[in-house]
């Protein structure tokens, strides 16, 4: 007899995270997103606007994340921080990178990448701000 474990989809998991983090998503002065994988990401309006998208839904529908939002010159470092700190649920990391907007233009950005564990999955919780020159 199988256990009565509830199987939850990644989509349901992200919906729960979106509800839990709604106050931060709505009120943060930074762009904010939570990333499980390229198909499961939630973000706030501030982040969508920063990257040149009309809505969080439009921004979150873009995949792959790294290729669409991080300039080629910063992709290796961005990926290294994710694998070193987030995937291993190690510790937060703050670093600067070159971001890429919807129109292809780039800008200097800084992120606080925070690992969280939710339902047994590593989730990247990011705060992103544009750096002024």
Choose which CATH entry (3.30.450.20, 1.10.3720.10, 3.40.50.1970, 3.30.930.10) describes domain 10-130. Answer: 3.30.450.20
The pTM assigned to this predicted structure is 0.85
Domain residue ranges in the chain: 10-130
Taking only the tens of pLDDT, the chain with its 133 residues reads: 343 335 578 888 899 999 999 999 999 999 999 998 878 899 999 999 999 999 999 998 888 888 889 999 999 999 998 888 887 888 899 999 999 999 999 999 999 999 999 988 889 999 999 998 6
Taking the C-alpha atoms of residue 99 and residue 130, their distance in angstroms, rounded to an integer, is 9
Q: What is the DSSP string of 90-111?
A: ---EEEEEEEE-TTS-EEEEEE
């Amino acid at each position: 007899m199988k256990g009565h474990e509830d199987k939850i989809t990644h989509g349901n998991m992200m919906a729960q995270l979106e509800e839990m983090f709604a106050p931060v998503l709505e009120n943060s002065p930074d762009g904010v997103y939570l990333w499980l994988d390229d198909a499961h990401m939630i973000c706030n309006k501030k982040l969508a606007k920063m990257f040149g998208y009309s809505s969080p839904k439009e921004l979150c529908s873009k995949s792959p994340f790294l290729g669409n939002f991080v300039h080629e010159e910063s992709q290796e470092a961005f990926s290294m921080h994710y694998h070193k700190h987030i995937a291993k649920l190690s510790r937060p990391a703050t670093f600067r990178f070159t971001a890429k907007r919807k129109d292809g233009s780039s800008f200097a950005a800084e992120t606080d990448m925070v690992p969280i564990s939710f339902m047994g999955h590593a989730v990247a919780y990011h705060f992103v701000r544009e750096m002024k020159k």
